[in-house]
Amino acid sequence: MDDELSMYLSRVGLTFPGLETTIDSSDYVFFGVPFDSSSSAFPGSRYGPKAIRDVIQGMELWSEYFGVDLEEMRVYDAGDLAVSHGDAVATANMLKRAVQKITSLGKIPIMIGGEHTFTPFAALAAGADSLIVLDAHADCRKDYLGNPLSHACATRIWVDSGGKRTFQIGIRATSREERDYCKEKGIIQFSPFQLQSDSFMKSLTDFVRKSRSLYLSIDMDAFDPSYAPGVGTPEPFGISPIDVLRIFEAISGANLVGFDVMELCPLRDPSYSSSALAAKLVMELYASKKARLTRSGGGVRSHRALSHWQ
């Protein structure tokens, strides 16, 4: 838009992160999946994409942890997926086509949910061989209330569809059936109570090193509800946002083929604190990759993170 005109008028419909970008000049394509039909406790995650776009408009585009200025974030907001409410199969098929297209353009998809059910479809369409999931729940039920396309089945769909390697962080709410399944399938799991141990970071870096193509998924209920009350199925004793910055740092060298932040439920988030955290996750993930590139390019080590794990 004309510079002077844009002083008086702004386009209706906010984008993430509110910068003027084109898809050609971007490395990442951001999009929403406003679908929450299988939400079992509290629905409303369909409003997640809208909330994250709203809240980012008032936030500074700067990463203090990684020392990266995000004013020139190469992220293009492509809008929301044309979901078919109540029809997870049709929506998953649409999603697969969208992700395949984004990947074929050489861009990395960033998906915002919406329910967690769609993560395995995005990860497989992006060509991932490895999945790291932050979640309170194992999401490994065969079905939930008779529905095999439930958000309670997301990680199991990935494994049963050929997803090879799985690493779960923050797990603390599982059924006996899920615990047996995860053991049988060799899914690596760390609870929030184990994240300060040396074995966690060693296992994570080892998993990343052996990944050819990595997809990272964050279910917002991985966080303690004191940090992120705006979720459909809150679980106490969760992880902290600082834990996630250290995890981003540890996986920043991976070949990341996709990233998502799911289960943000703005109807349970009157303060917008959970939405702000979700927006920050996208920014900090971007910053972690940027800081890594700067370092490997021989530039000054720009981030100031002093993780004792590294």
Residue ranges binding Mn ion (CB under 5 A): 116, 135-137, 139, 219, 221
C-beta of 17 vs 170, nearer to Mn ion? 170
C-beta of 135 vs 249, nearer to Mn ion? 135
Contact status, residue 305 vs residue 249, Cβ threshold 8 Å: yes
d(CA 100, CA 104): 6
Q: What sign results for the dihedral spanned by CA atoms 125, 136, 79, 283?
A: negative
Q: Cβ 118 to Mn ion, closest distance in Å?
A: 11
Q: Cβ 219 to Mn ion, closest distance in Å?
A: 4
- Strand locations in 12-66 (E): 28-33, 62-63
Q: How far is CA 13 from CA 18, 24, 94, 239, 249, in A?
A: 10, 21, 23, 33, 33
Q: Cβ 148 to Mn ion, closest distance in Å?
A: 15
C-beta of 102 vs 169, nearer to Mn ion? 169
Q: Cβ 192 to Mn ion, closest distance in Å?
A: 13
Q: Cβ 106 to Mn ion, closest distance in Å?
A: 29
C-beta of 63 vs 150, nearer to Mn ion? 150
Q: Cβ 262 to Mn ion, closest distance in Å?
A: 7
C-beta of 136 vs 195, nearer to Mn ion? 136
Whats the size of the chain, residue-wise?
310
- Strand locations in 8-155 (E): 28-33, 62-63, 68-69, 75-80, 108-113, 130-134
C-beta of 77 vs 260, nearer to Mn ion? 260
Sorted by sequence, the CB contacts under 8 Å of residue 301 that are 6+ apart come out as 294, 295
| Greatest alpha-carbon span in the chain | 63
Q: Hey, is 52 helix, strand or coil?
A: helix
